[in-house]
Amino acid sequence: MGLLVAQLLAGLANAAALFLVASGLSLIFGVTRIVNFAHGSLYMLGAYCGYTALQYLTGPLGFWAAALAAAVAVGLFGLLVECLILRRLYKAPELFQLVATFGVVLVVQDLTLMLWGAEDLLGPRAPGLDRAVMLFGQPVPEYDLALIAVAPLVLLGLWLLMTKTRAGILIRAATQDREMVGALGINQSLLFSGVFFLGAALAGLGGALQLPKGGADLTLDLGILAPAFVVVVIGGMGSIGGAFVAAVLISVVNVFGVLYLPESTLVLMYVVMAVVLLVRPHGLFGRAELQAGPPAAGIPDRPLAPLGPRWRTAALALIGLLAVLPLIGSDFALVLATDIVVLALFAASLHFMLSLGGLISFGHAALFGGGAYAAALAVTYAETPMELALLLAPLAGGWLAFAIGWFCLRLTGVYFAMLTLAFAQLLWSLAFQWTEVTGGDDGLIGIWPAAWASDGTVYYYLTIVLGGGAILMLRHLAHSPFGYALRAARDSEKRARVSGIRVDRVRLAAMVVSGTMAGLAGGLFVFSKGSVFPSALEIARSFDALIMVFLGGVDALGGPLVGAAALTLLQDWLSRLESWRLLLGLAVIAIVLLAPTGIAGFAGRLLRRREAS
Amino acid sequence: MLEVAAVNSFYGKAHILFDVSFSVGKGEAVALLGRNGAGKSTVLKSILQLVRPESGKVLFEGRDITRLPPHRIARLGLGYVPEERRIFADLTVSENLEVGRQPARTGLPLWTPERLFELFPNLAERRNALGGTLSGGEQQMLTIARTLMGNPRLLLLDEPSEGIAPVIVEQMARTIRALKDAGVTVLLSEQNLRFARTVAERALIIDSGHIRFDGSFVDLEADAEISASYLAV
């Protein structure tokens, strides 16, 4: 009994920081419709700022003052991000917002490293609350009890703000119909900035308050992101009360998981999420997204055209160049080129569902890593020959896509995106924690190509034939009736339905196609590296795919290829520099703001302009 | 009060309004008539800059408001009541009114929730009900009341009689006349000629994005051809 109560209290205490982060995320999403991937970074900044503030503020009052100061500092930083970057992107497609906030993640990582160094910082104990009290015969830290009190207080404060003040009423109104709020004379920019400040401050407060429990380190940002997403999804997007309930649920499940199922702690919350979503697809307190006003009149897409003679020549020239590369290039160039082709296929598979299907996945690494692990596991445990393993990889990717799609496709837009991320994290946790099978963090090694393909040049050609063939196949599919149906469903779901297109099936099929290709990319990746690690499934990998698609340009079919080349070369070049994350992040943000059609789209526009004149 | 000069508006690449020009004088009530898809709503949205005209100008009390953000225009005293009503379904009636609240304007009556509840007694009974639970007629009342909370000098009403019961249409007509008597200038879009005639003294007819007629209802009725070609279904 005593142990149970102690565990329960520990869970409730852990819920505080999670709730603070998730409520800010939910609030920002509710009003601005931006999924702020940098929210974990704000949490991390809160921890570091709190640490610094505590150098100057001492005593029990000083501790809480420091936490508040950290919250305000992070809130101001959030305000800066909103004013400089996000404000220009409210009307842009979700992908742009996402890529921009991920750029912020990269920038904050390096800024934090520069300002506070790489060493983990030990959190100081909270003065006045540094002992434990005995409850039911078990010691419970006083600070835990304080945290347990903080979360409901913040919830109460937010509730009062949202229901009793004019600002809160305006925020709730803007959550439902932003344009109408503007038409009634409310300055939306001011409202959005205010919400962003508040959301960021909540994340910062969360980071500062967990200092005595966990200290500050550079992995806090992406570490809190997935749990915060899960909490927002379980609670229902935009629902602060839901975020509270879900944060408590997840944290309590987690501490009991540590007690009884120590092997599966990371997986557990995703299982809870899956169960909740099976019963309530929009979360505990969420509801189906309201159509906020009439759909915006978009610029009609240029129809997809078959390649003109000029592009055909360019494509042939590229193939020719790739064919003779082993003769003219160095070994290193060959390795880079292999990487580029693999990544291009990975990006093209995402591009297929994202651009043609309008299905933005934040967790595309699940399919890539799934394929990679399928091939590696087959080789490790069944001594499967490479040829068969390379067949297994796309099959596994396709099946995974089917399973994930079955769950996620009931939701649309960012809900779909967040769910896919959660599933990718589920697979990542499996690979990371199921050590007996997957090797955990040590990965699976010794996965080399068959003897005939063991030479780098031969494997390079194999990659080009399989990868290039798959890319061409995706391109072909885009121009097939299936591709038309997919685009019709993207542009007008209702109209597609009444035209006899079975939208759900078409989308699921598109996901399976995409998963198959991503799985193949994963398979090719494993044999080119000889190993696979959980990093093949991590969030950063999913982002690589999104950034490649974005860099190449969403509307250009050749974009993924350009994007893969750009990202690989950029990373190779930048990673020689000290603060490459900062530079990459700034570059990504600059491209979002300045050349939103991506590199290929930009080049295409220049070409068309020249042809027109 | 309002001057629309040679406005051209687009939805994406579709050209919707062609050189639309007209004016509304202070204290007038003007009806913008036309069939479905003629461009009525787009005219109102182009005035408030919810749709940005590609060319042309909109002047409000002599001031060029083209390219101003909608909230600045609303604050100048231009109230907009959208056709789709767009009330905030998760907010109570009182909270919906609060969103519309703007400071008082000189020379115009100050609208308070209490005064609006007198004007719309049905709303008074339901002041704590969620907007989403109101009937169509009540929602239409609420959307007008919400806009009135901004104390507008000029009220743009997009098809106020659409989709509500005949009894409520009567009440709506009385309300609009009362607003006019209180000094509010009104521009409303309508398909219902009978309704428009009971509240407005001047008619504009729009068809395929072109203004085809601008004159009194007496002149309009004298010209059987015009109403036959642009209004009759």
Q: What is the mean pLDDT of residues A97-118?
A: 92
- Ramachandran class of B107: left when φ > 0, alpha when ψ lies in -120 to 50, beta otherwise: left
Closest residue to B70, CB basis, from A169, A176, A182: A182
The answer to which of A208-222, A324-338, B37-51 has the lowest mean pLDDT is A324-338
The candidate with the shortest Cα–Cα distance to A607, out of A556, A551, A550, is: A556
Instruction: Give residue for tokens 């005995």.
Output: A134
Angle at Cα B177 formed by Cα B176 and Cα B178, nearest 5°? 90
The residue in chain B having the minimum alpha-carbon distance to the alpha carbon of residue A187 is B71
Grade residue A291 by pLDDT with cuts at 50, 70 and 90. very low
Q: What is the mean pLDDT of residues A388-413?
A: 90
Contact in structure between A22 and A247 (CB atoms under 8 Å): yes
Pairing of strands B29-33, B202-207: parallel
A300 pLDDT exceeds 70? no
Enumerate residues 6+ apart whose C-beta is below 8 A from A180: A173, A293, B82, B86, B88
DSSP state, A174? Answer: H
The residue in chain B having the minimum alpha-carbon distance to the alpha carbon of residue A294 is B84
Other CB atoms within 10 Å distance of the CB of residue A191:
21
Chain B residues inside the 8 Å CB shell of A187: 69, 71
Amino acid (1-letter code) at residue B133: T
Burial class (CB in 10 A: 0-12, 13-18, 19+), A207: buried
A31 contacts chain B (CB < 8 A): no
CATH number where B163 lies: 3.40.50.300
Chain B residues inside the 8 Å CB shell of A299: 12-13
Distance between CA A127 and CA A125 in Å, rounded?
A: 6
Distance between CA A18 and CA B75 in Å, rounded?
A: 40
A176 and B90 within 8 Å at the Cβ level: the answer is yes
Interface list for A 186-215 with B (CB within 8 A): 186-188
Instruction: Give residue for tokens 């992107």.
Output: A89
Distance between CA A205 and CA A45 in Å, rounded?
A: 10
**B206 has which bridge partners?**
B211
| C-alpha torsion sign, points A443, A444, A445, A448 | negative
Distance between CA A86 and CA A83 in Å, rounded?
A: 6
Residues of B within an 8 Å Cβ radius of A: 11-14, 48, 50, 69-71, 74-75, 80, 82, 84, 86, 88-91, 95-96, 98-102, 146-147, 150
Chain B residues inside the 8 Å CB shell of A298: 12
Q: Best of A166, A184, A289 to disrupt the B interface by mutation (most B CBs within 10 Å)?
A: A184
Other CB atoms within 10 Å distance of the CB of residue A219:
11
The residue in chain A having the minimum alpha-carbon distance to the alpha carbon of residue B47 is A183
Instruction: Give residue for tokens 């591009």.
Output: A351
B71 and A166 within 8 Å at the Cβ level: the answer is no
B69 and A298 within 8 Å at the Cβ level: the answer is no
- Ramachandran class of B232: left when φ > 0, alpha when ψ lies in -120 to 50, beta otherwise: beta
Chain A residues inside the 8 Å CB shell of B74: 182-185
Distance between CA B183 and CA A356 in Å, rounded?
A: 54
Q: What is the mean pLDDT of residues A433-460?
A: 86
Instruction: Give residue A227's Cα distance to chain centre.
Output: 12
**B31 has which bridge partners?**
B188, B203
Q: What is the pLDDT of residue A330?
A: 82
Q: What is the pLDDT of residue A299?
A: 41
Distance between CA A308 and CA A610 in Å, rounded?
A: 15
Q: What is the pLDDT of residue B95?
A: 95
Q: Which residues of A292-315 are buried (b: 16+ CB within 10 A; e: fewer)?
A: bbeeeeeeeeeebeeeeeeeeeee
Chain A residues inside the 8 Å CB shell of B11: 297
Chain A residues inside the 8 Å CB shell of B14: 297
Chain B residues inside the 8 Å CB shell of A290: 89
Q: What is the pLDDT of residue A301?
A: 52
A182 and B95 within 8 Å at the Cβ level: the answer is no
Other CB atoms within 10 Å distance of the CB of residue A99:
24
Q: What is the mean pLDDT of residues A54-82?
A: 93
The candidate with the shortest Cα–Cα distance to A411, out of A349, A486, A359, A483, is: A359
Grade residue A289 by pLDDT with cuts at 50, 70 and 90. low
Å between A45 CA and nearest CA of chain B = 34
Burial class (CB in 10 A: 0-12, 13-18, 19+), B233: exposed
B71 and A300 within 8 Å at the Cβ level: the answer is no
Contact in structure between A468 and A337 (CB atoms under 8 Å): no
Pair of tokens at residue A568: 């690989």
The answer to which of A278-292, A377-391, B62-76 has the lowest mean pLDDT is A278-292
Q: What is the mean pLDDT of residues A180-203?
A: 94
Q: pLDDT tens-digit profile of A566-585?
A: 888 888 887 777 788 888 88
Contact in structure between A207 and A47 (CB atoms under 8 Å): yes
B88 and A298 within 8 Å at the Cβ level: the answer is no
For every residue of A542-563, DSSP letters joined together read HHHHHHHHHHH-TT-TTHHHHH
Chain A residues inside the 8 Å CB shell of B70: 179, 182-183
B12 and A166 within 8 Å at the Cβ level: the answer is no
A184 contacts chain B (CB < 8 A): yes
B84 and A294 within 8 Å at the Cβ level: the answer is yes
Pair of tokens at residue B77: 């005293």
The residue in chain A having the minimum alpha-carbon distance to the alpha carbon of residue B100 is A184
Q: What is the pLDDT of residue B122?
A: 87
A184 and B99 within 8 Å at the Cβ level: the answer is yes
Å between B69 CA and nearest CA of chain A = 8
Q: Which domain holds residue B40?
A: 2-230
Chain B residues inside the 8 Å CB shell of A170: 99
Instruction: Give residue A323's Cα distance to chain centre.
Output: 35
Chain B residues inside the 8 Å CB shell of A179: 50, 70
Contact in structure between A154 and A19 (CB atoms under 8 Å): yes
Alpha carbon dihedral A268, A269, A270, A273, in 10-degree steps, equals 130
Å between A274 CA and nearest CA of chain B = 28
Instruction: Give residue A70's Cα distance to chain centre.
Output: 26
The SS3 assignment for B214 reads: strand
Q: pLDDT tens-digit profile of A213-229?
A: 888 999 899 889 888 98
A610 pLDDT exceeds 70? no
Q: What is the pLDDT of residue B136?
A: 86
Enumerate residues 6+ apart whose C-beta is below 8 A from A16: A147, A148, A150, A151, A206, A209, A210, A247
The SS3 assignment for B207 reads: strand
The residue in chain A having the minimum alpha-carbon distance to the alpha carbon of residue B77 is A185
Q: pLDDT tens-digit profile of A493-543?
A: 888 888 888 989 999 999 999 999 999 999 999 999 989 999 999 888 998
Pair of tokens at residue A63: 């501790």
The residue in chain B having the minimum alpha-carbon distance to the alpha carbon of residue A182 is B71
Interface list for A 252-311 with B (CB within 8 A): 290, 293-294, 297-300
Q: What is the mean pLDDT of residues A314-327?
A: 80
Per the structure, the count of domains in chain B is: 1
B74 and A188 within 8 Å at the Cβ level: the answer is no
Distance between CA A29 and CA A46 in Å, rounded?
A: 20
Q: What is the mean pLDDT of residues A461-488?
A: 90
Tell me which H or E stretch contains B157: strand B154-158
Å between A507 CA and nearest CA of chain B = 27
The candidate with the shortest Cα–Cα distance to A26, out of A178, A285, A229, A287, is: A229
Q: Best of A31, A90, A164, A169 to disrupt the B interface by mutation (most B CBs within 10 Å)?
A: A169
B74 and A182 within 8 Å at the Cβ level: the answer is yes
The residue in chain A having the minimum alpha-carbon distance to the alpha carbon of residue B69 is A182
The residue in chain A having the minimum alpha-carbon distance to the alpha carbon of residue B98 is A166
Q: What is the mean pLDDT of residues A69-97?
A: 90
Angle at Cα B98 formed by Cα B93 and Cα B102, nearest 5°? 140
Q: What is the mean pLDDT of residues A439-457?
A: 85
Instruction: Give residue for tokens 């769950």.
Output: A407
The candidate with the shortest Cα–Cα distance to A503, out of A423, A419, A410, is: A410
Domains of chain A, start order: 2-279 (1.10.3470), 346-550 (no CATH)
A452 pLDDT exceeds 60? yes
Q: What is the pLDDT of residue B84?
A: 87
B150 and A185 within 8 Å at the Cβ level: the answer is yes
Amino acid (1-letter code) at residue A251: S
Distance between CA A98 and CA A43 in Å, rounded?
A: 18
Distance between CA B31 and CA B157 in Å, rounded?
A: 9
Q: Best of B71, B83, B149 to disrupt the A interface by mutation (most A CBs within 10 Å)?
A: B71
Contact in structure between A542 and A421 (CB atoms under 8 Å): yes
**A133 has which bridge partners?**
A140
pLDDT > 90: percent of chain A: 40
The residue in chain A having the minimum alpha-carbon distance to the alpha carbon of residue B152 is A184
Distance between CA A57 and CA A60 in Å, rounded?
A: 9
Closest residue to A169, CB basis, from B74, B82, B99: B99
Chain A residues inside the 8 Å CB shell of B69: 182, 187
Grade residue A611 by pLDDT with cuts at 50, 70 and 90. low
The residue in chain B having the minimum alpha-carbon distance to the alpha carbon of residue A181 is B99
Grade residue B8 by pLDDT with cuts at 50, 70 and 90. very high
Size of interface A-B (CB pairs under 8 A): 70
| C-alpha torsion sign, points A101, A107, A110, A115 | negative
| C-alpha torsion sign, points B224, B225, B226, B228 | positive
Q: What is the pLDDT of residue A383?
A: 86
Contact in structure between A6 and A132 (CB atoms under 8 Å): no
CA distances from B97 to A184, B86, B100 (A): 10, 13, 5
Pairing of strands B185-190, B14-24: unpaired
Distance between CA A282 and CA A595 in Å, rounded?
A: 35
Å between A73 CA and nearest CA of chain B = 30
